[in-house]
C-alpha cells in the first residue's frame, strides 16, 4: 500500500481541506510511490485523510484528488471531475460572452495541476503537476470527448513543471490546429490566439470582464496601456471610444499580435500608438517628456510566484504605480492589477497607498477587479485567488 504518513499535528491543513501536502509535513513514505502515483495520506495515528498524487521531488509532496476513502482514482474519476468543471461553466458564463473560456482551473476544480482553456474548436491543455502528468492520456481523452473539440493542444511548458521534476512538453495531442490560425471572440471583439507560442495557453482569459470594464470607462480619454500583450485592454478602450491609446510591451511578438488584432476588428489604427519598451524605463521616459493621460492600465506579469518573492515584488509594483499616478491628470483613472499569488489583495492595496503617498497625490478606490468566473477560487485554497486589481481615481 502506497501511503504518506504525516507528522503529528500536520493533518490540520488537510482537515481544513487545503489540497497540498508539503514535504516538511511528511513523517514516512510507504510503498515506494513513483512520480504521480496515487497514495493515501494518513495522519500520524493512521486516520485516512485523502487520496493524493505523489510528487517525490517537489516541495508540494502530494496534491489531493479526493477526500473520500471510497473513491478510486482512475479514468472514470477524472472524467467525473472534468464533467463537473464543464457543467459549472455552462451555467456560469452567459451565452454570447464569447468562445474563449477556461474549462478547468486546477485545484479549484478538484483537478490539481490541470488547466484547460478552450479557444473555439481548440482546447489547450497544461499539465503542471506530477499527478496531472501521470494521467495525461486519460485527461486528454476526457477533454476531447466531453468538449467534442477538433483539436487538443498541449502547452505543458510552464516553469512550474521543473519544480515537479517534469520536462517541458508541447504539441498537438489530438487533431490538428486550424491552418488559418485560432481566433476567438470575447465581448464582441475578435482576437487571434497563438496557442503554440503565445504566453500561458495563448491568451489571458482571466481579464475578460475587466477588459470590457475598461472599454466602458475609456470614452474620450487618452489611454496608456502598459504590458499590453495581444492588445486586450487596447482594443476595448478603442472600441469604447477612447481618443487615443498608447500601448507598451517588451515583446515584439506580442505587439505584432496586438496590431493584427486591431486590424481584425477594423478599429481606427490612427488612434493607436505602439511602443516596444521596458515599462519600468518607459514610464520614466514619458514622465521626462511631460506626457499625461486620463486612464492608465497596468497589467504586469507575475512578479511574485510565491510569498517568498513578495518583498521584491512589492517594490516593483510600487515603482510602476507611483510613476503611473504621476502621469495621470487630476481626476484620471488607474486600473492596476497584480496576478502574483504571493501578493494578497490586502497587501496590494497597501502598496498602492504607499505609491500614492510617495507620488504626493490623493487617490480613491472606485472599484475592485478579480479574475472572471471561469477562474473559480476554492475557499479552502486561497492560493487560487491570484488576480486582483484596483480602480483608483487620482484626486
Ligand atoms: N493585459 C494583457 C496581459 C498582460 S501579460 C491582456 O489583457 O491580455 C504581461 C505582458 O507584460 C506580456 O505581454 C509581457 O510581454 C509583458 N512584459 C513583461 N515584462 C515587461 C516589461 N518589463 N516591460 C514591458 N512589458 C513587459
pLDDT attached to residue 253? 97
For the entire predicted model, the pTM comes to: 0.96
Which residues are known to be catalytic?
339
pLDDT attached to residue 357? 98
pLDDT attached to residue 236? 98
pLDDT attached to residue 93? 80
> Would you say the CB of residue 250 lies under 6 angstroms from ligand 1?
yes
pLDDT attached to residue 305? 74
**Ligand 1 centroid to 329 CA: how many Å?**
24
pLDDT attached to residue 304? 80
> Would you say the CB of residue 279 lies under 6 angstroms from ligand 1?
yes
pLDDT attached to residue 210? 98
Using most ligand atoms within 8 A of CB, pick from 205, 275, 300 the residue to mutate for ligand 1: 300
pLDDT attached to residue 172? 97
d(CA 260, CA 276): 15
pLDDT attached to residue 174? 96
**Ligand 1 centroid to 230 CA: how many Å?**
9
Ligand 1 atom nearest to 204, measured from its CA? 8
Question: Residue whose CA is closest, atom 11 of ligand 1?
Answer: 227
pLDDT attached to residue 175? 97
Tell which residue, 323, 251, 245, has the closest CA to residue 283: 323
pLDDT attached to residue 313? 94
Q: What residue ranges of the chain have pLDDT lower than 70?
A: none
Question: Residue whose CA is closest, atom 21 of ligand 1?
Answer: 278
Amino acid at each position: 500500500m502506497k501511503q504518506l504518513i504525516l507528522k503529528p499535528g500536520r493533518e490540520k491543513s488537510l482537515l481544513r481541506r487545503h489540497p497540498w501536502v508539503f514535504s516538511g509535513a511528511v513523517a514516512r513514505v510507504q510503498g515506494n510511490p513513483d512520480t504521480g502515483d496515487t497514495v493515501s495520506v494518513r495522519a500520524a495515528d493512521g486516520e485516512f485523510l485523502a487520496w493524493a498524487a505523489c510528487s517525490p521531488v517537489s516541495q508540494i509532496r502530494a496534491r489531493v484528488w479526493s477526500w473520500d476513502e471510497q473513491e478510486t482514482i482512475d479514468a472514470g474519476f477524472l472524467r467525473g471531475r472534468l464533467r463537473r468543471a464543464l457543467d459549472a461553466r455552462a451555467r456560469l458564463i452567459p451565452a454570447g460572452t464569447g468562445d474563449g473560456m477556461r474549462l478547468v482551473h486546477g485545484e479549484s476544480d478538484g483537478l490539481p495541476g490541470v488547466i484547460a482553456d478552450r479557444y473555439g474548436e481548440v482546447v489547450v491543455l497544461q499539465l503542471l503537476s506530477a499527478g496531472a502528468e501521470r494521467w495525461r492520456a486519460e485527461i486528454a481523452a476526457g477533454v476531447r470527448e466531453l468538449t467534442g473539440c477538433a483539436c487538443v493542444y498541449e502547452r505543458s511548458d510552464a516553469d512550474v513543471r521543473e519544480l515537479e521534476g517534469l520536462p517541458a512538453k508541447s504539441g498537438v495531442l489530438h487533431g490538428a490546429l486550424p491552418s488559418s490560425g485560432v481566433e476567438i471572440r470575447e465581448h464582441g471583439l475578435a482576437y487571434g490566439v497563438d496557442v503554440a507560442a503565445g504566453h500561458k495557453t495563448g491568451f489571458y482569459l482571466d481579464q475578460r470582464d475587466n477588459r470590457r470594464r475598461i472599454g466602458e470607462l475609456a470614452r474620450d480619454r487618452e489611454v496608456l496601456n502598459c504590458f499590453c500583450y495581444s492588445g486586450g485592454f487596447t482594443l476595448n478602450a478603442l472600441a469604447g471610444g477612447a481618443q487615443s491609446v498608447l500601448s507598451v510591451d517588451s515583446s515584439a511578438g506580442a505587439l505584432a499580435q496586438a496590431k493584427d488584432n486591431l486590424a481584425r476588428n477594423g478599429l481606427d489604427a490612427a488612434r493607436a500608438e505602439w511602443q516596444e519598451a521596458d515599462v519600468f524605463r518607459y514610464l520614466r521616459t514619458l514622465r521626462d517628456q511631460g506626457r499625461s493621460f486620463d486612464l492608465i492600465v497596468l497589467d504586469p506579469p507575475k512578479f511574485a510566484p510565491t510569498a517568498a518573492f513578495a518583498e521584491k515584488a512589492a517594490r516593483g509594483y510600487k515603482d510602476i504605480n507611483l510613476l503611473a499616478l504621476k502621469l495621470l491628470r487630476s481626476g484620471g483613472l488607474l486600473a492596476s492589477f497584480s496576478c502574483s499569488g504571493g501578493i494578497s489583495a490586502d497587501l496590494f492595496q497597501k502598496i498602492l497607498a504607499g505609491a500614492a503617498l510617495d507620488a504626493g497625490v490623493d487617490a480613491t478606490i472606485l472599484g475592485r477587479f478579480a479574475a472572471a468566473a471561469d477562474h473559480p477560487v476554492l475557499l479552502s485554497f486561497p492560493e487560487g485567488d491570484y488576480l486582483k486589481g484596483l480602480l483608483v481615481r487620482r484626486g
